[in-house]
A and B are shown apart, each in its own frame.
Chain A
Amino acid sequence: MIFTIEVNNKQIKAKTGETILSALRRNGIDVPTLCYLPELDATGACRICVVEVEGKPQLVTSCSQPVEEWMKIFTHSPRVIQARKTLIELLLANHPDDCLYCPCNGRCELQHLAGELNVRERRFPNKKSPARLDQTCSALVWDPAKCILCGRCVRSCDEIIGVSILDLIRRGEKISIGTTFEKPLNLSNCITCGQCIQACPTAALREKEAFAGVQEILHKPSIFPVVQYSPVISVSLAEEFGIKPGKDLQGILNSVLRKIGFKKVFDITFAADVLVLELADTLLKRIALGEKLPLISSCCPGWVKYAEQYLPGNLDLLAPLKSPQQIMGKLIKRYYADMQGITPEDIVVTSVMPCTAKKFEAQREEMSLQGTAEVDTVITTRELAKLIRLNGIDINQLDEEMTDSPFASRSTAGKLFGVSGGIVEALIRTLHFRLTMKEIANPKITKIRGFKEKKEVYINIEGKEYGFAAVSTVKALPSLLDEIQSGKKNIQFIEVMACPGGCINGGGQPIQGNGETSQLRAKAIYDIDDKESIKASHKNPAVFDLYQKLLQEPGSPMSSALFTAVFNKRTVLL
């Protein structure tokens, strides 16, 4: 039912069952929020969104209060503004005063609100609760001093990802956010997906920054700096520079990376194509040999860590293959180095990823050979933007360039790795060809697209039905696995991505303004798929070349030697 309420002496329309905040926002009335995120359950913790409702003795939080027909609301009365300002001042009294040195400077919600509410002096003395910086994790930094206890990370980890490693602990003035038994992050069951960073309004949770180190090595003569980037960087980097989300910057990305000082620029999409071929081979062999199914993708390091912690009995289901990032690194350090006559130790591979878990993956023990890491440094999309700014480059002034040979071409199937369902789509295209030696008539598999947690598609190839599922965030996985293992569902392959919607929403991506951004990023990738002609991994000429020159065929001893990954049970406090 739609009815009228009065807000700031004006009539606006509201719907039965919605909150005051939702009615206000739809009508273009802005009420500041802090603990509220549209995709999470409201908790009413921060009280910043309070409004005055005539007849109510107390101010009410607009994020949680259902709107009612009789309501007469004031969103910016002196009483409300005074309350909001005092709340921010109270937060600031327990917050370090180091905005100028803070990684979050300029995009901090607390800073923004303090500005908006005209906080100009310190009303309460600054006596901070003791806080210990946790830098133990290879991907994330947890800085409780900057935490304002909004609980967004807690809810994001629980409601969005389904891992729930964080919670509020202790009470009263000693409250903080922490892991089980307050273990440091490296000993916790954190899967390093970084969605908590996306949720954090301040710099309390952030990636472990590595771009400054990258900047340093770029100018060392003894080093041959090489960069590789994930399929989704080109469609999300633009946001960091104020360009509207969803613009593809592929060519400009190549030139900007060269401008920064990387000697060679590679696109990990190439490695994704290689992986698709290997995956198809592994899947077909498993089906043929009647081995354990379903095969589950192992490209997402967050998911892999989750499986190692929570599903140790099912680790043999994971495709024993490295992720595209590591495959690319391996190819650079083994194949490319040989080809160019460069010592692998002299090459420093920097990976630009939309992901924080990739930082964790790069330092896994099995991802190096005799002390030489396949990938030396991983930086996130956000860090790349910082690196570009640090080097004073105006991306609007650059011409488009190509990636470097011998990995210079890519298929759009590899590009699809950036969205949830993309691996399935790429795999189906190649599987079809492997089984029939014909290209699939309609390569667009729309059933597996979109932002749902769990998607399934069944494809009939030459009379045999193959089932595929794509899961994003790990919430839906255990039940799906149960259904398959109990025989209720005939699914041979599951793609798992830890982040909602896949890598386009990775923890290392530009912080999103709203849910629309991820739609636009996905659309950009699908547009590329529509536009370009090489739509399947096996049709990538450079991949064909690589197999001819080095790998021979998918699943060959050479490719197993290079690309095999090992997964081990991890004992952590759950």
Chain B
Amino acid sequence: MIRQYGDILDKFLLSEILISQPSSFNREETGILDRLTRRQVDKPVIYLGSGSCGRIAGSLKTGEAIREYLEFSGIEADITEVGCIGLCSMEPLMDVQLPGKTRISFCKVGPEKVTDILDAVFNRSILQEHLLGQYPQPGQEPWSNVVNVSDLRFFKNQVRISLGKMGIIDPENIDEYIASGGYRTFLKTIFTYRPEQVCDIIEESGLRGRGGGGFPAARKWKTALTTAADQKYLICNADESDPGAFIGRALLEGDPHHILEGIALAAYASGASKAFIIIRHEYSLAISRIRKAIEQAKEAGLLGQNIHGSGVNLSIVLKISPGAFVCGEETALISSLEGKRGMPRFKPPFPAVEGYLGKPTVVNNLETLALVPSILEKGPAWFRSIGTTQSPGTKIFALTGKTVNMGLVEVPMNTTFRDIVFFTAEGIRENKPFKAIQLGGPSGNCLDYNHLDLQIDFETLKEAHLGLGSGGLVVMDDSSCMLNLAKFYLEFLKKESCGKCIPCREGTKRMAEILENITRRPVNEKGHETLERFKGVMQLENLAEVIRDTSLCGLGKNAPNPVLSSLSQFREEYEEHIFDRKCRAGVCTHLRIYYIDIEKCTGCTACARKCPAAAIIGTPTHPHFIVEEKCTGCGICQETCKFVAIYIK
């Protein structure tokens, strides 16, 4: 591909950096830059939210409908596929920017709505039903009576550093990224600072790893930088594999060049001339976008040998990982990258000293790297002004569950969970009561009502024995069973444990078994099974302690978290399951005992015919009866009954 505006963009990139480059732009050049950044447009532009979330919500079909509409109506307009702005629950999002007007955004745009919405917009009116808001732009006429997107509750408390350009710019167009200021920080940094100075700046900013541990990022870089070796590596960990986490995916889909810039800066600072992005194979859209981005960056001379004459070399290699949860652990990630079995090894030696192929290797989470360009652009003091003293900056959460708004939110580290759940996410759907937050995926913790006012910074959470984990934040209402949740995560962990160390391999299996026993149907339980169940309950806490105390890696150390935290917060619920054999949320099917109200039953036989266990007996037109020994608690009969005659005891 020949870059149409390559020269102008190179000039733009290097202006103010190299004295030899003139930094004035003529009117034509400014016009091109403006068009590339879409500060102003010549013809209408339609933006379509096309991250994975958008596509799942049907944006591809919406796109087709838009194309059909344009063809049919003869309107000439550009269609640009953009990433996700974070409001995944509102997808598909469609924005329209008319010449001279600000960009206006519509949500939940199914293909059938396209004509109505576009018809209205092109006639300068608005279909309120699907309106989200507008993006104000100096020099452009705003839509009247339309709220600014940034004033929406979802966006109001957010400080979008990493997510800033997500959903706004075209992720597949490097020119747009450069024109909007991208890669300038990278070039400026490699021309003005030595690697150790970059480390110092990051250290001063207080940036801590967002992968969960909160380890100071600069310390790793410095270790790698000062360790003598002929080759050093940087690994960007995008092998995101816990249920409920999609931060990395969205970032790669929405703003891949931003990630590349972060990687390039971190690689420079840690002395690495080769960087890997490890991404799981399921992320096909993210893979294709980052692959394209790497190609484009190479073509623009931003990657490769002697970048823009600076003497800095950097190659970025994309590695598709088969996707194992344990490979989120850095040593396991490195061994899988080496072509070995993805198993963690003991530390020390730390990867920054002895990592990939025995060379110093910095492993950073993608989210950490995404913060780097802005810190170098705006300075450590600016970064420190956000969040808390010990944990400056922002944190992205993948917000899912029972809240009104769902998606990605980036909030300062001094935000409370209450703010996130009740302000940004606008509370629980259908006004149901809030029950719990599951924070940080399978090895994360459960938070209850009392934790809502906690600040999300590393120190506060550490004090409360909680961890941010991967940044997954699942909000639950009273229809969730905490035991079932713990069981789900333990089942996940026992499958995803690498199997190397005994506590994690055998311990998670036994813990899952104990929970399974607790939620087992009491009716047909044999004597020794009852004994096992009680014995298991008694072992649970002790077993969890030993697993935590002896496991080799983070997966094992945190494996008991789902049980320990739910047990400490929801002990009553556990006791109910164990002693009363009841699940208050009605989720544990085996504990549901159904009966038929003979007053109401008409003997229509509908339930008996549907029962998969043949547990309902009775003659037609006479009240039926459920045989407890046979019933599995599935609840199909209750759903089937038209006379509301079936109840849970």
Contacts from A to B (Cβ < 8 Å): 42-48, 50, 58-59, 61, 64-66, 79, 82-83, 86-87, 90-91, 93-94, 123-125, 127, 148-149, 151, 167-168, 170-175
Give which listed residue, B345, B513, B549, B557, contacts A125 with CB less than 8 A. Answer: B513
Whether the pair B510, A44 counts as a contact (CB closer than 8 A) is no
Give which listed residue, B497, B506, B550, contacts A58 with CB less than 8 A. Answer: B550
Q: Which of chain B's residues have a CB closer than 8 A to the CB of A50? A: 549-550
Q: Complex Cα distance A151/B345, Å?
A: 13
Whether the pair A127, B513 counts as a contact (CB closer than 8 A) is yes
B500 interface hit (Cβ, 8 Å)? yes
B530 interface hit (Cβ, 8 Å)? no
Whether the pair A44, B552 counts as a contact (CB closer than 8 A) is yes
B274 interface hit (Cβ, 8 Å)? no
Contact (A90, B348) CB under 8 Å given A171-B326, A171-B497, A173-B505: no
> Can you give 10 contacting A-B residue pairs, CB < 8 Å?
A43-B346, A44-B346, A58-B550, A61-B552, A123-B535, A127-B513, A148-B502, A149-B500, A173-B497, A175-B505
- If A44-B552, A174-B495 are given as contacts, then 17 extra A-B residue pairs at C-beta distance below 8 Å, sorted by A number, are A43-B346, A44-B346, A48-B502, A50-B550, A79-B549, A82-B542, A83-B549, A94-B509, A123-B535, A124-B510, A125-B535, A149-B499, A149-B502, A168-B341, A172-B493, A173-B497, A173-B508
Whether the pair B502, A47 counts as a contact (CB closer than 8 A) is yes
CB distance from B475 to the nearest CB of A (A): 28
Q: Complex Cα distance A61/B345, Å?
A: 12
Q: Which of chain A's residues have a CB closer than 8 A to the CB of B502? A: 45-48, 87, 90-91, 148-149
Q: Which of chain A's residues have a CB closer than 8 A to the CB of B495? A: 171-174
CB distance from B602 to the nearest CB of A (A): 45
Q: Which of chain B's residues have a CB closer than 8 A to the CB of A90? A: 502-503, 506-507, 510
Q: Complex Cα distance A50/B549, Å?
A: 10
4 residue pairs, one from A and one from B, having the closest CB atoms: A175-B499, A90-B506, A44-B346, A64-B346
Whether the pair A45, B501 counts as a contact (CB closer than 8 A) is yes
Contacts from B to A (Cβ < 8 Å): 324, 326, 341, 343, 345-346, 348, 493-503, 505-510, 513, 532, 535-536, 539, 542-543, 546, 548-552, 557
**Chain A minimum-CB-distance residue to B535:** A123
Q: Which of chain A's residues have a CB closer than 8 A to the CB of B557? A: 58
Q: Complex Cα distance A61/B495, Å?
A: 24
Q: Complex Cα distance A171/B492, Å?
A: 12
Q: Complex Cα distance A170/B551, Å?
A: 19
CB distance from B630 to the nearest CB of A (A): 25
Whether the pair A168, B500 counts as a contact (CB closer than 8 A) is yes
Q: Which of chain A's residues have a CB closer than 8 A to the CB of B346? A: 42-44, 61, 64-65
Whether the pair B494, A58 counts as a contact (CB closer than 8 A) is no
Whether the pair A87, B513 counts as a contact (CB closer than 8 A) is no
Whether the pair A47, B348 counts as a contact (CB closer than 8 A) is no
Q: Complex Cα distance A174/B324, Å?
A: 14
Contact (A171, B507) CB under 8 Å given A45-B500, A58-B549: no
Whether the pair B498, A171 counts as a contact (CB closer than 8 A) is yes
Q: Which of chain A's residues have a CB closer than 8 A to the CB of B510? A: 90, 93, 124
Contact (A87, B348) CB under 8 Å given A125-B513, A168-B343, A172-B505: no
Whether the pair B500, A123 counts as a contact (CB closer than 8 A) is no
CB distance from B172 to the nearest CB of A (A): 35
Q: From A46, A82, A86, A168, name the one whose CB has the most chain B CB atoms within 10 angstroms.
A: A86
Q: Complex Cα distance A362/B513, Å?
A: 48
Give which listed residue, B497, B501, B509, B536, contacts A47 with CB less than 8 A. Answer: B501
Q: Complex Cα distance A59/B535, Å?
A: 26
Taking chain B's interface residues, is the majority helix, strand, or loop, or is none over half, making it mixed?
A: helix
Q: Which of chain B's residues have a CB closer than 8 A to the CB of A167? A: 341
Q: Complex Cα distance A42/B500, Å?
A: 13
CB distance from A271 to the nearest CB of B (A): 44
**Chain B minimum-CB-distance residue to A122:** B535
Q: Complex Cα distance A62/B534, Å?
A: 35
Q: Complex Cα distance A46/B497, Å?
A: 14
Whether the pair A125, B532 counts as a contact (CB closer than 8 A) is yes
Whether the pair A149, B505 counts as a contact (CB closer than 8 A) is yes
Whether the pair B539, A82 counts as a contact (CB closer than 8 A) is no
Whether the pair A47, B550 counts as a contact (CB closer than 8 A) is yes
Q: Which of chain B's residues have a CB closer than 8 A to the CB of A172? A: 493-499, 505, 508
Q: Which of chain B's residues have a CB closer than 8 A to the CB of A125? A: 513, 532, 535-536
Whether the pair B550, A124 counts as a contact (CB closer than 8 A) is no
Whether the pair A94, B506 counts as a contact (CB closer than 8 A) is yes
Whether the pair B497, A43 counts as a contact (CB closer than 8 A) is no
Give which listed residue, A86, A149, A168, contacts B546 with CB less than 8 A. Answer: A86
Whether the pair A83, B343 counts as a contact (CB closer than 8 A) is no
Contact (A82, B505) CB under 8 Å given A64-B346, A66-B348: no
Q: Which of chain B's residues have a CB closer than 8 A to the CB of A45? A: 500-502, 552
Whether the pair B543, A86 counts as a contact (CB closer than 8 A) is yes
Give which listed residue, B494, B542, B552, contacts A173 with CB less than 8 A. Answer: B494
Q: Which of chain A's residues have a CB closer than 8 A to the CB of B324? A: 171
**Chain B minimum-CB-distance residue to A154:** B341
**Chain A minimum-CB-distance residue to B517:** A125
Q: Which of chain B's residues have a CB closer than 8 A to the CB of A58? A: 548-551, 557
Contact (A87, B343) CB under 8 Å given A45-B500, A93-B510, A171-B326: no
**Chain A minimum-CB-distance residue to B502:** A87
CB distance from A24 to the nearest CB of B (A): 17
Whether the pair A43, B500 counts as a contact (CB closer than 8 A) is yes
Q: Complex Cα distance A48/B324, Å?
A: 26
Whether the pair A87, B496 counts as a contact (CB closer than 8 A) is no
Q: Complex Cα distance A167/B342, Å?
A: 12
Whether the pair B546, A82 counts as a contact (CB closer than 8 A) is yes
Whether the pair A46, B499 counts as a contact (CB closer than 8 A) is no
CB distance from A9 to the nearest CB of B (A): 21
Q: From A125, A127, A171, name the one whose CB has the most chain B CB atoms within 10 angstroms.
A: A171
Q: Which of chain A's residues have a CB closer than 8 A to the CB of B503? A: 47, 86-87, 90
Give which listed residue, A61, A65, A91, contacts B506 with CB less than 8 A. Answer: A91
Whether the pair A59, B550 counts as a contact (CB closer than 8 A) is yes
Q: From A44, A124, A168, A172, name the one whose CB has the most chain B CB atoms within 10 angstroms.
A: A172
Q: Which of chain A's residues have a CB closer than 8 A to the CB of B326? A: 171
Q: Which of chain B's residues have a CB closer than 8 A to the CB of A170? A: 499
Contact (A83, B513) CB under 8 Å given A45-B501, A65-B346: no
CB distance from A263 to the nearest CB of B (A): 51
CB distance from A17 to the nearest CB of B (A): 11
CB distance from A114 to the nearest CB of B (A): 13
Q: Which of chain B's residues have a CB closer than 8 A to the CB of A65? A: 346
Contact (A87, B535) CB under 8 Å given A168-B341, A172-B499: no
Whether the pair A59, B506 counts as a contact (CB closer than 8 A) is no
Q: Which of chain B's residues have a CB closer than 8 A to the CB of A148? A: 502
Whether the pair B499, A171 counts as a contact (CB closer than 8 A) is yes
CB distance from B556 to the nearest CB of A (A): 9
Q: Which of chain B's residues have a CB closer than 8 A to the CB of A93? A: 506, 510
Q: Complex Cα distance A58/B341, Å?
A: 25
Q: Complex Cα distance A47/B507, Å?
A: 13
Q: Which of chain A's residues have a CB closer than 8 A to the CB of B343? A: 168
CB distance from A110 to the nearest CB of B (A): 11
**Chain A minimum-CB-distance residue to B324:** A171
Q: Complex Cα distance A562/B510, Å?
A: 60
Q: Complex Cα distance A44/B348, Å?
A: 12
Q: Complex Cα distance A127/B510, Å?
A: 9
Contact (A86, B505) CB under 8 Å given A45-B500, A59-B549: no
Q: Complex Cα distance A462/B326, Å?
A: 65
Q: Which of chain B's residues have a CB closer than 8 A to the CB of A174? A: 495, 499
Give which listed residue, B348, B494, B542, contacts A86 with CB less than 8 A. Answer: B542
Q: Complex Cα distance A44/B542, Å?
A: 22
Q: Which of chain B's residues have a CB closer than 8 A to the CB of A66? A: 348
CB distance from A109 to the nearest CB of B (A): 14
CB distance from A113 to the nearest CB of B (A): 12
CB distance from A358 to the nearest CB of B (A): 33
CB distance from B28 to the nearest CB of A (A): 59
Whether the pair A46, B501 counts as a contact (CB closer than 8 A) is yes
CB distance from B46 to the nearest CB of A (A): 46
Q: Complex Cα distance A44/B503, Å?
A: 12
Q: Complex Cα distance A76/B180, Å?
A: 62
